[in-house]
Structure 1
Amino acid sequence: MRSVVVIGGGILGLSVARELTRRGTHVTVLEKEPHWAAHQTGHNSNVVHAGLYYRPGSFKARMSVAGNRSIIAYAREHGVPVEVCGKLVVATSERELDALRVLAERAHANGVPASVIGPERARDYEPEVSCLRALRVESTAIIDFAAVCRAMVAELIDGGADLRLDTRVLGIHSRASGGVEVTTASGTLRADGLVNCAGLHADRVARLAGVTPSARIVPFRGEYYELRPQRRNLVRGLIYPVPDPSLPFLGVHLTRMLDGSVHAGPNAVLALRREGYRWRDVSMRDLAEIARYPGLWRLARQYALPTGLDEVRRSLSVRRFAASLARLVPAIRPADIVPLGSGVRAQALLPDGSLVDDFLIERARHQVHVLNAPSPAATCALQIAEHVCDSLATSR
């Protein structure tokens, strides 16, 4: 039986392991943390995206609509909580109307059920919303992605996979006879192939395997608030702003969760370590590595002012954060929100300072490296897994 080592125990690593197992491959999953879905998967907004934002023809566009259907079907099959609630993307100023129109055109091109509506119709969905026009998207859903991962782990155990927590990869070597050797603190594994789904450390794992990745991972922290329980009535579902088309972030938005709570966020600031969930989480190694990368300085020249400065100010000021929410729902005040936590996004950055906008998957002999898989990767996890497994089969 063919054998593959998968590095990373988030939703992508587990989805790849599941797909490989379904194809008759023996899989070993290595996760350095003591539990599954410890980082990006366990700290995201739990939204199943519809696929309206993405450039037609891109990986994201091609995979999102199918991914929306497949992950919802998977959740229902395995008893994972999911609710197809739809969402509103709202234009709150005249200058956003053209961007909303372009977004509606992208939705149509990508096969996403969406329609432009006026403010009266928008208030039928969200009585407290403020907008000139809105895009109503019917297929957006909310889900528990951590619970999806638990269901996949149960499937993998039943399928005979070797699942190893608390297992950090120390070395990766290609074997002259074919396949790879993966060294951990507890010993060396030999396998016919390797898939790198290490998220925030994907570029480092690639270099460990002798691959020079085309992009570098730069961590961005997104901070969340939530509405106080007595103010949850201000939001019925999901309310998003019109995003800046030059950035890969969707902007601060409001999301009613499965438990009835309403989350607000995230913003986007440079994290000071790869797993830096707070301002005080600092790694000199990570900072030095980022500072030496020319792509970061080219990015900074383009976005540091005013975009980056605005994000930092919002990170440090509850008043500014609340003001961003009040553009969408004017009744929200600073006293209505409380800190919730944060997540860190593994954003791939090219040497010229360009943020990689699409999924970035690179191959080597007997290896596949997932180097950029930001949102909507969780939505598309089952589709990405199929693509990765097909790529691995042709990388011999």
Structure 2
Amino acid sequence: MHYRKREVVQVRAEVAYDCDVLVIGGGIVGLSTAYAITRSAPGTRVTVLEKEQGPARHQTGRNSGVIHSGIYYRPGSLKARYAVKGAAEMVKFCAEYGIAHAVTGKLIVATEQAELPRLHALVQRGRENGIPVRELGPAQIMEYEPEVRGLAAIHVGTTGICDFVGVARQLAEASGADIRYGARVVHVDRRPELGVAVRTADGDIVRARVLVNCAGLHCDEVARLTGDEPGMRIVPFRGEYFTLARPELVKGLVYPVPDPAFPFLGVHLTRGIDGGVHIGPNAVPALAREGYGWGVVRPRELGATLAWPGSWRIARRHWRYGAGELRRSVSRAAFADAVRRLLPAVEDGDLVPSAAGVRAQAVLRDGTLVDDFLIKEGPRTVHVLNAPSPAATASLPIGREVARRALAALGGV
């Protein structure tokens, strides 16, 4: 026994680490984590591996660019805490580094009587989360948005818009980390007594003391590569967007009252930093982790989704909702009908197809859609397993939390 202990110590002394913390994933959460580590523990060597040729190519760069207020989220949840704090920090970060942004406020509009109780519940939730909310009647809605119609609405003053890709680039630069693009991870060898060795598709080996998994659409696969069972699977949902050919119809941000039974906000209208108005998204099953269109099918990934029991339980539980989303996916007229609930003046021809996004939705075995951020730890590993919207808004506080856990793991080895 004594000999074995000496042998382990000797092996440890001979390990040459390329970095202290290795982050897999160059989206906004991974880059924010790298930024937080180097800010809170100067001198810590951080490497980020990103399989694409640049940062923020997936969820970060394929959304509506909204800085969310946090009004939708259960008081006390990580989403609520991080979104409220993160929105203020994101505005400050953008201002500090000259990144395009604006605090615009937004309307959440009820168009049917059945939505009024849910709208009033949002007012209460907003107040519990410390968010300024103003209740509006039909005439007041038109003061903000002359072309929008509804029975009642609330105005949320802290919502904004920004260039999240620009934020990700700035985080990468300011972190001082070694950012390696085009580095797809294919193998992970974790040894609790030694560290973590990662091999990329081009054969490079990176050795680290601690690994942080911020792989987004592939986070469950990376967790399993390390030997950790995440207890969930990513089920990808594609969100399809249109651009409004007559942007003058919309002044700012307009949202429907969300259905609390489903974790999507519904088709909304967003005037972006570029001045265009984006409409969407709907939510349909994607046939690949990066399935940005119906023509993108990856049999292995689709098979993994279908093999997960939770996928079938979602389908049984939400088939009516899903059928409506599918109909809007294949029919522009049906999509336009959904938009006209908020914006009666829109015509089918006003909708110009735009880039789609894919949401990495964590699903438990029993079909539960994970509704909050989910971060788990293993030996020498920290896994971010669910970070959907408002992750971009909340990326700075999320990054600090993940960094705290990574540095704690680093201090324990």
TM over 0.5: yes
Matches within 5 A, 1:235-314: 235-304=250-319, 306-314=320-328
Alignment partner of 1:66 is 2:66: no
What whole-Å deviation, never above 9, does each CA across 1:306-357 have from its counterpart, x for those lacking one?
1111100000011011111110011111111110120000000010101000
Contact 2:192 2:379 in 1 (8 A): no
More displaced stretch, 291-300 vs 173-182: 173-182
Runs of 5+ consecutive residues of structure 2 not aligned to the other structure: 1-16
Matches within 5 A, 1:49-128: 49-128=68-147
Q: Normalized against structure 1, the TM-score is what? A: 0.97
Alignment partner of 1:345 is 2:345: no
Distance change in 2, residues 1:176/1:363 (3 Å): closer
Alignment partner of 1:7 is 2:24: yes
Q: Which residue of 1 aligns with 2:342?
A: 328
More displaced stretch, 19-28 vs 7-16: 19-28
RMSD of Structure 2 on Structure 1 (CA) = 1.1
Aligned identity (percent) is 52
Q: Which residue of 1 aligns with 2:218?
A: 201
Provide the C-alpha distance between the structure 2 equivalents of 1:346 and 1:166, rounded to a whole number of angstroms.
21
Q: Which residue of 2 aligns with 1:29?
A: 48
Provide the C-alpha distance between the structure 2 equivalents of 1:113 and 1:179, rounded to a whole number of angstroms.
47
Provide the C-alpha distance between the structure 2 equivalents of 1:106 and 1:163, rounded to a whole number of angstroms.
40
Q: Normalized against structure 2, the TM-score is what? A: 0.93
User: Is the partner of 1:295 in helix, strand or coil?
Assistant: helix
Q: Which residue of 1 aligns with 2:4?
A: none
Work out which of the residue numbers 231, 237, 242 in structure 2 matches 1:225: 242
Provide the C-alpha distance between the structure 2 equivalents of 1:150 and 1:329, rounded to a whole number of angstroms.
35
What whole-Å deviation, never above 9, does each CA across 1:208-252 have from its counterpart, x for those lacking one?
000000210000000000111xx2111000000000001110000
Once the two structures are TM-superposed, the CA of residue 196 in structure 1 deviates from its matched residue by 0.4
Runs of 5+ consecutive residues of structure 1 not aligned to the other structure: none
User: Is the partner of 1:30 in helix, strand or coil?
Assistant: strand
Q: Which residue of 2 aligns with 1:132?
A: 151
Provide the C-alpha distance between the structure 2 equivalents of 1:365 and 1:394, rounded to a whole number of angstroms.
11
User: Is the partner of 2:262 in helix, strand or coil?
Assistant: coil
Contact 2:34 2:403 in 1 (8 A): no
Q: Name the aligned partner's letter for residue 182 of structure 2.
A: D
Structure 1 runs of 4+ aligned residues shifted over 4 Å read none
Once the two structures are TM-superposed, the CA of residue 153 in structure 1 deviates from its matched residue by 2.1
User: Is the partner of 2:188 in helix, strand or coil?
Assistant: strand
Once the two structures are TM-superposed, the CA of residue 393 in structure 1 deviates from its matched residue by 2.9
User: Is the partner of 1:44 in helix, strand or coil?
Assistant: coil
Provide the C-alpha distance between the structure 2 equivalents of 1:13 and 1:204, rounded to a whole number of angstroms.
16
User: Is the partner of 2:109 in helix, strand or coil?
Assistant: strand
Provide the C-alpha distance between the structure 2 equivalents of 1:136 and 1:163, rounded to a whole number of angstroms.
40
What whole-Å deviation, never above 9, does each CA across 1:129-184 have from its counterpart, x for those lacking one?
1111101000000100011111122213xx3x211001011211223533211122
Contact 2:192 2:380 in 1 (8 A): no
Alignment partner of 1:173 is 2:192: no
